């Protein structure tokens, strides 16, 4: 939540009740009540993709307007957001940051480090086919090799490769069951990738991918700002506002809870 904007949005009555509270505990309670009021002032639209049985019935008595663009639950983004702003204000970035650090420690070049740094940011938008979503959303800003490798990592992680000492992840057995078989389009994607000149780039994403990353380590995004600067063409209008064919994906990350 943007605290300054939140405080500014409080009604005079709420501010007076916080200021007039007799003790620190009473002030905290008054602030919490004010926050509840502010967060419930409008309805928050939810993505409809999961409502296979139809959207839940609307409450006919609820005629509050929906939040559009401004959402008090989310930190406000700059007007022309850059990649690092998404890392700081929208993504859950530890997995990719730790993967990028591992690639760096393993001595890989910046193409590989960049691919590792970005390989799963599509998950912030959509889990299903995250490699494809991710490749598409970054394609205008990175090399073809990086985008291709990221798309293909989705398939490659299901297929062992002795040459790279890559084994099927135990995490996938735990998550999907021992009898899980990838869909035919994933098998096809793997076969195409195996013959491709950039196979190694994609395979190295899976090698440096952390299937159970360390929750005790905190890698700061600052460690990779230089790499981003050299390997990701930031549009001067900001991601989401450069008129590119993928701008809507970045806008969706900025305003994920818009009604429309």
Binding residues for Fe ion (CB under 5 A): 120, 209
DSSP annotation of 66: B
For Fe ion, the closer CB: 18 or 146? 146
Q: Distance between CA 149 and CA 103 in Å, rounded?
A: 14
Query: Exposed, middle or buried: residue 122 (CB in 10 Å: 0-12, 13-18, 19+)?
Result: buried
Is 199 within 8 Å of 151 (Cβ atoms)? no
Q: Residue 101, SS3?
A: helix
For Fe ion, the closer CB: 85 or 209? 209
Q: Where are the alpha helices (DSSP H) in the chain?
A: 3-9, 12-20, 24-39, 83-89, 94-105, 110-118, 130-138, 144-156, 170-176, 184-194, 199-208, 225-231, 247-254
Q: Distance between CA 37 and CA 166 in Å, rounded?
A: 52
Give the shortest CB-177-to-Fe ion separation in angstroms.
19
For Fe ion, the closer CB: 71 or 209? 209
Give the shortest CB-132-to-Fe ion separation in angstroms.
11
Give the shortest CB-232-to-Fe ion separation in angstroms.
18
For the beta carbon of residue 105, count every other beta carbon within 10 angstroms: 9
Give the shortest CB-134-to-Fe ion separation in angstroms.
8
Q: Distance between CA 45 and CA 9 in Å, rounded?
A: 20
Q: Distance between CA 58 and CA 38 in Å, rounded?
A: 21
DSSP annotation of 56: P
Give the shortest CB-74-to-Fe ion separation in angstroms.
24
Give the shortest CB-153-to-Fe ion separation in angstroms.
6
For Fe ion, the closer CB: 90 or 152? 152
For Fe ion, the closer CB: 67 or 91? 91
For Fe ion, the closer CB: 98 or 111? 98
For Fe ion, the closer CB: 30 or 149? 149
The angle at the Cα of 259, spanning 258 to 260, to the nearest 5 degrees, equals 90
Give the shortest CB-120-to-Fe ion separation in angstroms.
4
């Amino acid at each position: 939540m943007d605290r300054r904007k939140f405080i500014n949005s409080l009604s005079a009555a709420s501010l007076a009740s916080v200021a007039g509270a007799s003790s620190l505990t009473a002030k905290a309670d008054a602030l919490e009540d004010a926050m509840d009021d502010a967060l419930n002032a409008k309805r928050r639209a939810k993505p409809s993709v999961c409502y296979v049985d139809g959207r839940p019935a609307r409450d006919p008595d609820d005629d509050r307007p929906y939040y559009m663009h401004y959402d008090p639950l989310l930190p406000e983004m700059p007007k022309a957001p850059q990649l690092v702003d998404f890392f700081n204000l929208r993504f859950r970035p530890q997995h990719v940051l730790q993967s990028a650090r591992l690639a760096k420690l393993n001595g890989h070049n910046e193409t590989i480090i960049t691919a590792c740094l970005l390989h799963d940011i599509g998950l912030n938008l959509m889990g299903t086919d995250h490699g494809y979503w991710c490749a598409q959303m970054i394609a205008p800003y990175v090399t073809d090799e990086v985008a291709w490798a990221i798309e293909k990592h989705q398939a490659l992680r299901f297929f062992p490769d002795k040459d790279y000492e890559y084994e099927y992840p135990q995490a996938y057995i735990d998550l999907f069951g021992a009898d899980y078989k990838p869909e035919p389009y994933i098998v096809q994607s793997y076969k195409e990738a195996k013959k491709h000149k950039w196979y190694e780039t994609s395979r190295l994403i899976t090698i440096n991918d952390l299937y159970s990353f360390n929750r005790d380590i905190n890698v700061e995004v600052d460690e990779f700002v230089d790499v981003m600067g050299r390997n990701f063409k930031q549009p001067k209008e900001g991601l989401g506002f450069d008129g590119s064919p993928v701008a809507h994906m970045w806008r969706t990350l900025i305003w994920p809870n818009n009604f429309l």
